[in-house]
Amino acid sequence: MATHLSSGSLTPPLLQVDGITLTFGGVRALSGVGFDVQAGSITAVIGPNGAGKTSLFNTISGFYRPSQGRILFKGEDISRVPAPQRARMGLGRSFQNIALFRGMTVLDNIKLGRHAHLKTNVLDALFYLGRARQEEAELRRDIEERIIDFLEIDHIRHAPVAALSYGLQKRVEMARALAMQPQILMLDEPVAGMNREETEDMARFILDVREEWGVTVLMVEHDMGMVMDLSDHVVVLNFGQVIAQGQPAEVQADTEVIRAYLGSGDVGDLRRKLHSTSAGQAMGAV
């Protein structure tokens, strides 16, 4: 049973995940998952590997359809709304495994994020007529003056994505998600594989996008230091279920959370397990 810890907010949530269950054949990836995301907040979803975090993200963004439960965005049930329409409504996301077009430039990758909002018809686009030309100019201005400058990637705007470091590729993917003009920016492990300096930069961008742009952030992340420093609300998954949620300090002290990460909730037990594993490996090497 999940421990439901109050976030202390009385305002209606921007996003509500209500009793979501997701199954693949006989495997239940999510079971009765429920939590709220308040407007203007940074909400983190954490949990051990295989807990169902990415499955939850894929369900919220529309790539998976739940077998039970509802997803409400601004009070509207979007559980059966296709992924492209959810993007147009204001749900923008990045991916755990970078999903950029590696042969294209940084600028062209970012521009693709605005595709869902473009109104140009086929004829206008084919002959590059008035509407297409105007939208292209507005798009470039917004991306170059706001997004590229905000994420400090002006020096690589014309570089092919394949030539960039992993940390810069993650930043470009965030830029493409911001080009979607999201109300909720969904970040799937935004600092995975980054060094300390890159992680600190990304943490700063996440805070700034909330403070300066008013974008609500929902993220999955394994870096517990970053999660506890940035988040207003933390949701903990284990085996596809919410086992706790609340403010970071509350979640850190929750016995179910400690047990999920350490096995028994006892740090000494964790040390004994690590010692046992090391001893077993040493014996196997003899």
pLDDT digits (tens, 9 = 90+) for 203-221: 999 999 999 999 999 999 9
3-class secondary structure, 162: helix
Q: Domain residues of the chain, as ranges?
A: 1-90+182-253, 99-181
Model pTM score: 0.80
Which of 121-130, 177-186, 275-284 has maximum average pLDDT? 177-186
Quote the mean pLDDT of the chain.
Answer: 83
3-class secondary structure, 203: helix
Q: Is the pLDDT of residue 49 over 80?
A: yes
pLDDT of residue 113: 72
Q: Is the pLDDT of residue 72 over 80?
A: yes
pLDDT of residue 115: 59
CB atoms within 10 A of CB 26: 5
Pick the closest to residue 75 from 19, 36, 31, 41 (CA basis): 36
271 or 70: which leads in pLDDT: 70
- The answer to whether 84 and 33 are in contact (CB under 8 A) is no
* Cα(270)–Cα(166) distance, integer angstroms: 32
Q: What b-and-e string marks burial along 52-65, b requiring 16 or more CB atoms within 10 Å of the CB? A: bbbbbbbbbbbebe
pLDDT of residue 262: 67
- Choose the weakest-confidence range: 3-7, 31-35, 246-250: 3-7
- The answer to whether 218 and 15 are in contact (CB under 8 A) is yes
CB atoms within 10 A of CB 15: 24
One CATH from 3.40.190.10, 3.40.50.1460, 3.40.50.300, 3.40.50.11720 for 1-90+182-253: 3.40.50.300
pLDDT of residue 137: 64
3-class secondary structure, 208: helix
Q: What b-and-e string marks burial along 165-180, b requiring 16 or more CB atoms within 10 Å of the CB? A: eebbbbbbbbbbbbbb
pLDDT digits (tens, 9 = 90+) for 254-284: 888 888 876 655 555 545 544 554 454 444 4
Pairing label, strands 27-37, 15-24: antiparallel
Q: For residue 227, count CB atoms less than 10 angstroms from its CB and return exposed for 0-12, middle for 13-18, buried for 19 or more.
A: buried
Q: Is the pLDDT of residue 168 over 50?
A: yes
> pLDDT-based confidence at 179, cuts 50/70/90?
confident
